[in-house]
Chain A
Amino acid sequence: MTTTLGAYDDVLDRYAPVLGLETHVELGTATKLFCGCSTAFGAPPNTQVCPTCLGLPGSLPVTNEAAIEFTVKIGLALHCEIATWCRFARKNYFYPDMPKDYQVSQYDEPLCTDGYLDVVVGGEAFRVEIERVHLEEDTGKSLHVGGATGRIHGATHSLVDYNRAGIPLVEIVTRPVQGTGHKAAEVARAYVTELRDVLRDLGVSDVRMEQGSLRCDVNLSLMPAGATQLGTRTETKNVNSLRSVERAVRHEVERQGARLDAGERVVQETRHFHEDSGTTSPGRSKEEAQDYRYFPEPDLVPLAPARELVEGLRATLPEPPSVRRAAFAEVNGFTAIDLEQMVNAGVLDLVGETIAAGASPTKSKGWWLGYLVGRANELDVEVSELAITVAQVARISELEDSGELTNKLARQVADAVIAGEGDVDAVIESHGWKVAGEDELIVAVDAALAAQPDIAAKIRDGNQGAVGPIVGAVMKATGGAADATRARELILERAS
């Protein structure tokens, strides 16, 4: 089935988007939520399991105190109310990677409620309201065998590893976010970025989306501009990178917009996001909602976080990322716009580290925001996953400052490093990339002027605007190794 898409901005001229984000965060506790098994990532299969997290008959859960404290800290950092009394509940459904065939979660009594997180997009502030923050256990991991690589579709059987089963998972649910207009996709991305930074600063999770310790479900609906009745929403599951969050919103806006324009209705359903195509496809329909038969978990006693504990944890909270960033901008002379761009592109830390590695703030920002983010997009990876270190970026920037590399050469060097050709100096050496010398440059300038005598004549007549094409020809002749400023001077000198 082909999906007709409307253009994103065109759709949002006519429809108001309503966003909702559900984020799952694996907590960085040493042990699982209800047993003493390790949570370390990457252990051999089924080596971090015990009767409790395997759901063996007779086993019982006991809550990890650190998981409760981490969750309360998250709630406090998101300006939430912390429950004075609440319970875990069982969410009942069958799935082979869920050992007990119920998930211990929280239902109508979450630990934290009613908070918010502020983000800035295009100089405009958006307050994303947090409905709830609750704690639950993760499931095991299935490997699907026999179908297309790793896909559940067409598999003949599956292999389950329960190392992940029982790792504490915090779910952070927003209220419907309205009023974002054309910025919906960017607001979604900015929210997840900001949330990730808050969580990292709290030290409660390693927030690595590529390892699944931060996972996102994106809800989206459209309503005709000016309407007050919310439209039918879809829930796109497991959107696992910042870029994907933005792309998933864009795709759903375009897809839903096209359906509504065609007079069709949007089906309430879960959808799957496909990293390769940036599209979503339908999953389970939510219109016959599964009945999870929630009831209070009788094996665990209620939680009643003492107010002294809550206030004690509040006192340990680090300053919010916004305050830390403002100080960073101040020191490095960045404007508010610079800061927002770097934050939303996910390069603020990289820029800071590049400055620390010796590059100037302007160059550091320029490299990441002006070049490497684009390269990451072309290569379809997160910018933080580009195969270039901040030290390498700083070294390239240094060679550029000293005149040993032109800007064009410097970018070629960066590309070669990213392509895995080697370290900065080795790449320059092997390609013989260096700025063209004076003699070489004079030869190239004379040849270019001789090849285009009519332009040379214009220059002689004082037409400075005619210099451009000759500079281009010189750059071409030297393979980009010419210093453009010096080439310009020589052209003016030798043409007369």
Chain B
Amino acid sequence: MTPELTRLTAVETAAKIAAREVTAVEVAQAHLDRIAEVNGTLNAFLHIDTDGALTQAKRVDAGEVEGPLAGVPLALKDVIVTRNVPTTAGSKILEGWIPPYDATIVERMRDAGIVVLGKTNMDEFAMGSSTEHSAYGAAHNPWDLERTPGGSGGGSSAAVAGFLAPLGIGTDTGGSIRQPAAVTGTVGTKPTYGGVSRYGLIAFSSSLDQAGPCARTVLDAALLHAVIAGHDPRDSTSIDADVPPVVDAARDGDVSGMRVGVVKEFAGEGYQDGVTVRFEEAVATLAGLGADVVEVSCPHFDYALAAYYLIAPSEASSNLARYDAMRYGLRVGDDGDASAEEVMAATRAAGFGAEVKRRIMLGTYALSAGYYDAYYGQAQKVRTLITRDFENAFTTVDVLVSPTTPTTAFKLGERVDDPLAMYLADLCTIPSNLYGGPAMSVPCGLSDDGLPVGFQVMAPVLADDRLYRVGAALERATGSDRLLEQVTNL
């Protein structure tokens, strides 16, 4: 097998397969070999679907499916439901669950010829920013194995950054695609809420969750975005509109005349110097490419983190109620004498980790009679104000930009016992989830600590193409698509 196959981009891989220079099976096998070699170190994959991957690769080689990503391997976050393939959402409570159905995006990727290699590690039920809340151990950052690859989708970002797969799927409720992308030097997009079907995405916070692409280049991400996006009648919140022209925008990458707003609130104290320096350089680069850069104030963004940590846990406390040991998943304490209520309580005590329990308790409290108005209700009003901040900003600028996350990858163990410090990792990413608009993290170089820095672009609802235009411009100007060549320690 050719080890170099794993270093190709998705576009290059698909081109070689289409040109019959290499088979999809060879590509899949090269990645499976790579996984076998380094997954023990990275802990990126929780489950490797060798048979499923090779079966799909054979379909591509037989010409049964075609498309711009036919035969390209992909790392799928374990929060996406896959028929006959174990799906745990990083939790003990779903250990061994074999779903009887596929998520819509899984069907779409199969129809596009994408080869799913397996399911990737994540913080339990996507609650976390480091993968340390995974029931199956943390994943590691290929740039520095002592550091986090981000979270919750750290398994997918580690897989993409570590050349275990050119593409990944993440889900982003408060930054779980973008923050891992930022700290691993990869590209990650949270599409417009409703742009990608949530059918088969195991819910954390239904009004915020959105699946999206992870990749090593902006164009690869756009191609995957185009495959998974579009209206799904099985998801009531799916928008029935044309998919924004993300691939064209990524190919074009022209930002001349674009109005770029720098979010004033996302700078200063708490931002690592190396992050601030790279971010400001990237802004200057965009200006140099002809963009009109202005500073924009979004005053309610300061309250986004607080509103998010009320809304998301509230919805989660309800979404996670179904893990009750009755129909699927773990059952603990069923000794023939215990009641259903006792078995449910014992199962949830044993099956959920500390962070999930914390958030369920927080959400239960925020929704309870007497506290609803002060917490959940007030958070929803703040959500309205944050949306208005975005809408006001977008009357004068085309996109907003900020650092994706205030710091580069932190060390595993550094924040795990300090929930508030952990939550700060999502400070800049959360507003877009509350608003529903699309946002992307694209690499903008390395900080002085030698670790990647992420540049966040935020756009209006259904203007996802603008992210790719800005991302592609920056990528070309800085050569950030070559950044990962520096990852050689695996």
Contact = CB atoms under 8 A, between A and B. Distances in A.
- A, B bound: yes
Residue picked from A59, A62, A90, A298, most chain B C-beta under 10 Å:
A298
Interface in A28-68: 51, 54-63
B327 A55 contact: yes
Contacts of A325: none
B315 A293 contact: no
A156 B100 CA distance: 30
A301 B436 CA distance: 14
A158 B340 contact: yes
Contacts of B246: none
Contact of A101 (B203, B324, B368): B324
Interface in A85-109: 90, 92, 94, 96, 99-102
Interface string B360-391: 00001001110010001000000000000000
B487 interface: no
Interface string A62-91: 110000000000000000000000000010
A61 B237 CA distance: 10
Contacts of A300: 236
B199 interface: yes
A160 interface: yes
Given A57-B87, A90-B318, A51 B100 contact: yes
B99 A60 contact: no
Contacts of A56: 81, 99-101, 327-328
A293 B201 CA distance: 24
Given A56-B99, A299-B237, A301-B236, A96 B322 contact: no
A94 B89 contact: no
Contact of B237 (A57, A59, A301): A301
A328 interface: no
Contacts, number: 97
A295 B81 contact: no
B321 interface: yes
B235 interface: yes
Nearest to A50: B101
**Chain B interface main SS type:** loop
A291 interface: yes
**Chain A interface main SS type:** loop
Interface string B420-460: 00000000000000000000000000000000000000000
Contact of B318 (A60, A291, A295): A295
B344 interface: yes
Interface string B99-115: 11101000000000000
A301 B159 CA distance: 36
B333 interface: no
B43 interface: no
A237 to B, nearest CB: 19
Interface string A370-396: 000000000000000000000000000
A60 B196 CA distance: 14
Contacts of B344: 94
Contacts of A157: 336
Contacts of A60: 198-199, 234-236
Interface in B154-206: 198-203, 205-206
B272 interface: no
A61 to B, nearest CB: 7
A102 B326 CA distance: 14
B199 A58 contact: yes
B1 to A, nearest CB: 35
Residue picked from B97, B199, B336, most chain A C-beta under 10 Å:
B199
B322 A55 contact: yes
A174 B262 CA distance: 56
B199 A59 contact: yes
B341 interface: yes
A96 B338 CA distance: 14
Nearest to B364: A293
B94 A57 contact: yes
Nearest to B89: A57
Contact of B103 (A58, A62, A298): A58
Contacts of A295: 314-315, 318, 367, 372, 376
Interface string B292-332: 00000000000000000000001101100110101110000
Contacts of A92: 317-318, 321, 367
A85 to B, nearest CB: 16
Contacts of B285: none
A21 to B, nearest CB: 26
B380 to A, nearest CB: 9
B207 interface: yes
Given A293-B367, A293-B368, A299-B237, A160 B207 contact: no
Contacts of B101: 51, 56, 59
B236 A57 contact: no
B233 interface: yes
A100 B101 CA distance: 17
A102 B363 CA distance: 15
Nearest to A291: B369
Interface in B86-138: 87, 89, 94, 97, 99-101, 103
Interface in B211-261: 233-237
A156 B336 contact: yes
Given A102-B321, A295-B376, A298-B206, A62 B236 contact: yes
B62 to A, nearest CB: 30
Residue picked from B81, B328, B340, B368, most chain A C-beta under 10 Å:
B340
Residue picked from A54, A63, A94, most chain B C-beta under 10 Å:
A94
Contacts of B206: 298-299
Contact of A298 (B200, B315, B372): B315
Contacts of B202: 57-58
Interface in B42-80: 80
A100 B87 contact: no
Nearest to B337: A156
A156 B340 CA distance: 10
29 contacts: A51-B99, A51-B100, A54-B327, A55-B327, A57-B89, A57-B94, A57-B99, A57-B202, A58-B80, A59-B101, A62-B235, A90-B318, A92-B318, A92-B367, A94-B324, A96-B340, A100-B322, A101-B321, A156-B336, A158-B340, A160-B326, A291-B369, A293-B317, A293-B368, A293-B369, A295-B314, A298-B205, A299-B206, A300-B236
Interface of B: 80-81, 87, 89, 94, 97, 99-101, 103, 198-203, 205-207, 233-237, 314-315, 317-318, 321-322, 324, 326-328, 336, 340-341, 344, 364, 367-369, 372, 376
- Listed from nearest, the 10 A-B pairs whose CB atoms lie closest are A101-B321, A298-B207, A298-B206, A293-B367, A58-B81, A57-B202, A58-B200, A100-B322, A58-B202, A96-B326
Given A293-B317, A295-B367, 16 more contacts: A56-B81, A56-B101, A57-B97, A57-B328, A58-B103, A58-B201, A59-B199, A60-B199, A62-B233, A96-B326, A101-B322, A102-B321, A157-B336, A293-B369, A298-B315, A299-B237
